[in-house]
Amino acid sequence: MGFTPGLKAFIAAVLGGIGIIPGALIGGFVMGLAEVLAVTAGYSTYKDGVAFVLLILILMLRPRGILGEKEVEKA
């Protein structure tokens, strides 16, 4: 019964950056806004799919998340 909300919470954490609490908050807001815009545009059947498409796009563009920092290699 709680699989979908748990999955969306995980997606929000990945969007913002794993381990960054403010990033997870921003990720949740971005995901919620995208879903509401999809429903407003008339694509209510694709509401859950929007979250996954957003996840794929963010991971392709910024693999560390919205607030994730670049990892510095030490020699």
pLDDT of res. 62: 83
| DSSP 8-state secondary structure symbol assigned to residue 64 | T
Q: Is the pLDDT of residue 75 over 80?
A: no
pLDDT tens string 27-58: 889 888 989 999 999 888 888 888 888 888 88
Can you read off the two tokens belonging to residue 6? 């748990």
Whether pTM > 0.85 for this model: the answer is no
Rounded Cα distance between 70 and 68, Å, is 7
Integer-rounded Cα Rg, in Å, for the chain is 14
Tokens 């990720």, located at residue:
27
pLDDT tens string 4-30: 888 888 888 888 888 888 888 888 898
| CB contact set of 26 (below 8 Å; sequence gap of 6+) | 15, 16, 66, 67
Dihedral of the CA atoms 19, 66, 53, 56 (nearest 10)? -70
